[in-house]
Structure 1
Amino acid sequence: MNPLIIMDAGLLTLLLIIGVPVPFCFAGAALLLMMFGDFGSTSFLVGAGFNKLNSIVLIAIPLYILAGGIMGAGGIATRLVDLADSIIGRLRGGLGLVLIVTTAVFGAISGMASSAVAAIGTVMIPRMVERGFDRGYAAALVAASSVLALLIPPSASMILYGWVTGTSILACFLAPIVPGLILLTLLGFWNLILTRRMPLKQPEPAPMRAIVGETFIRTKKAAAGLMMPLIILGFIYGGITTPTEAAAVAVVYAIPVAIYVYREMNWSGLGQVLWRAGQTSGVLMIMIFFASMLGRIWTLENVPQEILESFLSVSENPIVLLLLANLFLMIIGMFMEDVSGILLAAPLLLPVMKQAGVDPIHFSAIIATNLGMGLITPPTAPLLYFAALIGKTSLSGMLKPALVFVFFAYLPVVLLTTFIPALSMWLPSLVLGLN
């Protein structure tokens, strides 16, 4: 391999380890190659970056970020929590189950794990602490559950994966759903186990009629928010709109719901949401721009092929190749969040996956579960730090339950997804008729 490429990969890794913001990490790695590489005129690299940004598919991501921000500020999170609490909150440890379920539903609205941490964590952590849950445990469960936003459609990560690899975005939306449901089940199981010895306060017993009445009232209050993921996915899979157009529909639907139905956001608040969504989207576009330039150079230098050859030098056995690819993804996931991980890893590992006989749709579920696990795996674990900030707790108090979730919920899902293709291929085959 070209020594300059090795130096460039080392620089990228160093910048990530010392905590430089990810867009600047990609920018530094790209600029190093532009300054010292023998590529003649580098104007084509700038053009490559802008050409990647000039995509109708990418418009969907800031629109979903905006829709999730509107619904988070507009009261949808509180109403989802109240509804789930009325159904399962009376069980011992039930409030943890409420958190897991509402995070999955909110993930189907926002498509971003960080949005789910902010919206659901702000509501749930104080409520859980009030009922006797350990604050560190509550924050760790918020972080672990928020990864469901990557697996439950519409997912911004799957939009990026489909765009980078040229795979059907509709199929990529469907592929991680079954692994996501398995993960939801495992998180619920470990929540019940880990809360057995906590001094939890149970709600006062109530007659069934009162519980049903309360659930009915809260369902009516949450109905407008619950309709949003149904509208998005119904429009996409009903062939009415593309994913990008469905994102625009979601924004148009979310504004009147937040302002006139829930009445928890005004037009001034909408301006603040627009500003925050613009900041997030701007950072994302800068990262995509420099990552595209870096990817173009690495492709010219045959880095994907050299990674494939290095893997094949270890073994040509498909099982070994899959294990090596998973290890590669786990390491990447420990140092960068899902979006940048997909931009870097998807084009590099796709040749390896094809060599191992893995369908690109199946690989979308593999990469989503791996990078999702990386978001709560030290040393970087961005979602753990974010949840600690939201929950006003220390990382040390979150570490033990977080590691339980990593080793006994996420890791089994990663292995099942990797070695049982039917888990990720069944729904795309059923809905889209893929073979």
Structure 2
Amino acid sequence: MSDIIIYDALLLTLLLVIGVPVPFCFAGAVLFLVLFGDFGSASFLIGAGYSKLSSIVVIAIPLYILAGSIMSRGGIAERLVDLADSLVGRMRGGLGIVVIMATAVFGAISGMASSAVAAIGTIMIPRMEARGYDRGYATALVSASAVLALLIPPSASMILFGWVTGTSILASFLAPVVPGLLLCTLLAFWNRVLTRRMPLVTPPSVDARQFAREVARRGRRAGMGLVMPVLILGFIYGGVTTPTEAAAVAVLYAIPVSIYLYRDIDWTDLADVIWRAGRTTGVLLMMIFFASMLGRVWTLEDVPQQILESFLAISENPIVLLLMANLFLMIVGMFMEDVSGILLAAPLLLPVMQQAGVDQVQFAAIIATNLGMGLITPPTAPILYFAGLIGNVPLARMLLPTLVFVFLAYLPVVLLTTFLPALSLTLPRLILGG
């Protein structure tokens, strides 16, 4: 590996550590290569970035962002919470399960962990505190649950993974589903354990008829929102549309539901939603542009192959290779959110995974679970800090429950996903064949 690439990687790491916004970290690394590297004209780098942005697959990501933003402002998050609350909210610790359920469903709608934190956290953290939950615990649970957005389809992260690695996007959607459901189960179990000594206030019990009436009423209110992920996935797996076309259908569906059915926004609000989604998309596309340029140079310099050789120099045992790859992914996730983490780590680790005999579809689930764990793993933990801002809670109050979720929920799922291929491959093979 040339000295200029080593210095460039160190610069990128330094910028990430000191807290520079991720798109500017990639931009700084690219600028360093242009100014100090011997790569001739920079025009080929610009072409590399543009060629990635011009892919039709990339269009799906801003469309999902827009659809999720519309549904978030349009009242879907609150209706999902109310429905889940009517189902399990009367159990002891039930409101924690409500967070997990609502975040998983909303994550499927928005496709991004940060959106799930903002939408569900704003509603649930005050509600949980009012019922006796520690505010730090409530915020930690929201952040841990929000990462389910990476695992439950349709996930923007899995679209990006499939595009970067050349893996089937449909299979990439399905690979993390079973690990995601297992993670939901473990989060619910530890929620029960961690809240056993909290002075929780549970709503009074009701008879079966009143329970059914309440669930039906709230189900009708949330029904059109719940249809959205089913509609998207039905169109995709039914062969009616591509993932990009399904994203466009999601936007066209979200607008009339939010404005005319739920009536929580009007056309003026919609303009603001589009503007905010556009800003998010602009940041995302800038990140993809510079990360693609950086990736082109690193590929020309044979960085992925040299990472493989450095791993093999330590051990050729597939189990050791996978453990080292998992550690690398967790560290990447600690410094970056999922989109930039996939842009950086997926092409670099693909040769390592192939050497270890890992199917690319399984790699989708491995990278999703690992980056998800990194997003809430201190000391950096971008999603954890974002949840802290939403909940107005310092890290110290979130630390203990977060470590329980990381080591006793996320880590077991990561290891099972890595070493039990059937966990991530059975569902894609069952639905897609092969």
TM-score, with normalisation over the residues of structure 2?
A: 0.99
Structure 2 distance, partners of 1:127, 1:327, is 36
After superposition, residues 319-398 of structure 1 pair within 5 angstroms as 319-398=319-398
**Partners of 1:95 and 1:128 within 8 A in 2:** yes
Encode CA deviations 1:291-349: one digit per residue, 9 max, x unaligned.
00100000111101110111111111111110111111111111111111100010010
**Partners of 1:376 and 1:383 within 8 A in 2:** yes
Aligned to 2:80: 80
Encode CA deviations 1:252-304: one digit per residue, 9 max, x unaligned.
00001101111101111111110110011100100110100100000111101
Encode CA deviations 1:203-238: one digit per residue, 9 max, x unaligned.
012111111111111111111111111100100001
Aligned to 2:307: 307
Stretches of 4+ moved more than 2 A in 1?
A: none
Structure 2 distance, partners of 1:393, 1:18, is 22
Aligned to 1:225: 225
Structure 2 distance, partners of 1:54, 1:141, is 38
Aligned to 1:206: 206
Structure 1 distance, partners of 2:392, 2:13, is 30
User: What amino acid sits opposite 1:91 in the alignment?
Assistant: M
Aligned to 1:191: 191
Aligned to 2:27: 27
> Alignment partner of 1:147: what SS?
helix
Aligned to 1:141: 141
Structure 2 distance, partners of 1:323, 1:105, is 31
> Alignment partner of 2:202: what SS?
coil
Structure 2 distance, partners of 1:413, 1:59, is 31
After superposition, residues 62-211 of structure 1 pair within 5 angstroms as 62-211=62-211
**Partners of 1:139 and 1:398 within 8 A in 2:** yes
Structure 2 distance, partners of 1:205, 1:378, is 39
User: What amino acid sits opposite 1:84 in the alignment?
Assistant: A
Aligned to 1:414: 414
Structure 1 distance, partners of 2:69, 2:88, is 26
User: What amino acid sits opposite 1:108 in the alignment?
Assistant: A
User: What amino acid sits opposite 1:238 in the alignment?
Assistant: G
User: What is the CA-CA distance between 1:22 and the residue it aligns to?
Assistant: 0.4
Aligned to 1:428: 428
Structure 1 distance, partners of 2:250, 2:205, is 39
**Partners of 1:70 and 1:258 within 8 A in 2:** yes
State which drifts further: 30-39 or 87-96: 30-39
Structure 2 distance, partners of 1:26, 1:270, is 32
Aligned to 1:41: 41
User: What amino acid sits opposite 1:427 in the alignment?
Assistant: L
User: What is the CA-CA distance between 1:129 and the residue it aligns to?
Assistant: 0.7
**Partners of 1:236 and 1:242 within 8 A in 2:** yes
**Partners of 1:259 and 1:267 within 8 A in 2:** yes
The share of aligned pairs that are identical, in percent, is 75
> Alignment partner of 2:304: what SS?
helix
Encode CA deviations 1:46-101: one digit per residue, 9 max, x unaligned.
11111110010000000000111111100111111111111111000000001100
User: What amino acid sits opposite 2:226 in the alignment?
Assistant: L
Tell me if 1:273 matches 2:269: no
Structure 2 distance, partners of 1:131, 1:156, is 34
User: What amino acid sits opposite 2:224 in the alignment?
Assistant: A
Structure 1 distance, partners of 2:300, 2:350, is 16
> Alignment partner of 2:55: what SS?
coil
User: What is the CA-CA distance between 1:391 and the residue it aligns to?
Assistant: 1.2
Structure 1 distance, partners of 2:161, 2:387, is 26
Aligned to 2:58: 58
Unaligned runs of 5+ in 1: none
Compute the RMSD of aligned alpha carbons: 0.7
Aligned to 2:264: 264
After superposition, residues 224-243 of structure 1 pair within 5 angstroms as 224-243=224-243
Structure 2 distance, partners of 1:221, 1:204, is 22
**Partners of 1:335 and 1:379 within 8 A in 2:** no
User: What amino acid sits opposite 2:312 in the alignment?
Assistant: L
Structure 1 distance, partners of 2:361, 2:312, is 22
Structure 2 distance, partners of 1:92, 1:397, is 22
TM-score, with normalisation over the residues of structure 1?
A: 0.99
Aligned to 1:247: 247
> Alignment partner of 1:215: what SS?
helix
User: What amino acid sits opposite 2:340 in the alignment?
Assistant: S
Structure 2 distance, partners of 1:76, 1:66, is 14
Unaligned runs of 5+ in 2: none
Structure 1 distance, partners of 2:387, 2:345, is 26
